[in-house]
Chain A
Amino acid sequence: MSRTRRHFTRFLFLAGFLLSHTRVPLHARQAPSRDIAVVINSNVPVDNLTFVELRRVVLGDKQYWETNLRVTLLLRAPVARERDIVLQKVYEMTESQFRQYWIGKVFRAEVAAGPKIVNSTDASIGLLSSVPGSIAFIDSAQVPKNFKILRIDGKLPGQDGYPLR
Chain B
Amino acid sequence: MLNEPKCRIVSALGLALGKLESSEGKFAWPKQRNKRFKEPEMWSSSLLLCLLLQNGTTPLVQDLLARIEALEKRVAELEQEKKTAAAAPAAEPVTPPQTPPASAGGHQAGAATIPQEGGLPEYPSLHMTGFTDLNFSASDQRGTHSGFNEGQFTLHFVSALSPKVNFFGEVSLTARPDAGIGSPAPPGFNAEVERSIVRFDQSDRFKVSFGRYHTPINWWNTAYHHGQWLQTTVSRPEMIQFGGSFLPVHFVGALVEGSVPAGSLNLNYNVGLGNGRSSALSRAGDAGDVNNNRAWLANLSVRPDKLYGLQIGGAVYHDRLNLTSVQNFKEWITSGHIVWNRENPEIIAEFSNVTHKDYSGILATANSQAFYVQSAYRLPFNARVWKPYYRFEYIHIPRSDVPFRNVPNLSGSVLGMRYDLSEFAALKFEYRRQRRAPGEPSVNVGFIQTSFTF
Contacts and interface: CB of A to CB of B under 8 A. Distances in A.
Given A4-B39, A20-B3, A52-B264, A103 B96 contact: no
B102 A116 contact: yes
B62 A63 contact: no
Contacts of A147: none
Interface centre among A14, A19, A98 (most CB of B within 10 A): A19
Interface centre among A56, A98, A99, A130 (most CB of B within 10 A): A99
Q: How large is the interface on B (under 10, 10 to 19, 20 to 34, 35 or more residues)?
A: 35 or more
A38 interface: no
Contacts of A127: 96, 101, 114
Interface string B267-295: 00000000000000000000000000000
A80 B164 CA distance: 31
Contacts of A31: 66
A159 interface: no
A56 B308 CA distance: 10
B105 A105 contact: yes
Contacts of A25: 3
Interface stretch (B73-81, B234-242, B428-436, B439-447): B73-81
A117 interface: yes
Given A111-B105, A117-B91, A97 B343 contact: yes
B386 to A, nearest CB: 13
A114 B104 contact: yes
A57 B54 CA distance: 47
Given A8-B17, A109-B197, A64 B65 contact: no
A147 B138 CA distance: 62
Given A7-B42, A61-B259, A20 B97 contact: no
A4 B38 CA distance: 9
B127 interface: yes
Given A20-B3, A22-B56, A130-B115, A113 B17 contact: no
Contact of B90 (A4, A80, A99): A99
Contacts of A123: 95-96, 101
Interface stretch (B173-181, B222-230, B357-365): B222-230
B81 A77 contact: yes
B250 interface: no
B105 A102 contact: yes
Interface in B332-354: 342-343
B401 interface: no
B291 to A, nearest CB: 28
Contacts of A77: 77, 80-81, 84, 91, 93
Contacts of A20: 1-3, 6-7
B315 interface: no
A146 interface: no
Contacts of A55: 305, 308
Given A79-B80, A103-B105, A113-B160, A24 B266 contact: no
A118 B95 contact: yes
B76 A113 contact: no
A70 B164 contact: yes
Nearest to B91: A117
A64 B203 contact: yes
B6 A19 contact: yes
A120 B95 contact: yes
Interface in B104-156: 104-108, 111-115, 119, 127, 129, 131, 156
Interface residues of A, number: 68
Given A30-B66, A56-B266, A112 B95 contact: no
Given A102-B105, A118-B96, A16 B10 contact: yes
Contact of A104 (B102, B113, B230, B261): B230
A112 to B, nearest CB: 4
B2 A19 contact: yes
Contact of A68 (B107, B113, B203): B203
Contacts of A112: 111-113, 158-160, 166, 168
B156 A107 contact: yes
Nearest to A53: B261
Nearest to B7: A16
Contacts of A56: 261, 266
Given A78-B80, A109-B199, A22 B6 contact: yes
Interface centre among A72, A77, A95, A100 (most CB of B within 10 A): A77
B10 to A, nearest CB: 4
B30 interface: no
16 contacts: A8-B42, A14-B50, A15-B10, A72-B113, A74-B101, A78-B81, A96-B420, A99-B91, A99-B423, A102-B105, A105-B105, A116-B100, A117-B101, A117-B104, A118-B101, A119-B93
Q: Which 9 A-B pairs have the closest CB atoms?
A: A114-B105, A119-B93, A102-B105, A114-B104, A77-B93, A19-B6, A106-B105, A109-B168, A116-B101
Given A19-B6, A56-B261, 20 more contacts: A4-B27, A4-B42, A8-B27, A14-B46, A29-B65, A30-B66, A61-B204, A64-B204, A72-B113, A96-B420, A99-B90, A99-B104, A99-B424, A103-B107, A106-B106, A106-B158, A109-B197, A113-B113, A114-B105, A117-B94
Interface of A: 2-4, 7-8, 11-12, 14-16, 18-20, 22, 24-26, 29-31, 52, 55-56, 60-64, 68, 70, 72, 74-75, 77-80, 92, 94-100, 102-109, 111-120, 123, 126-127, 130-131
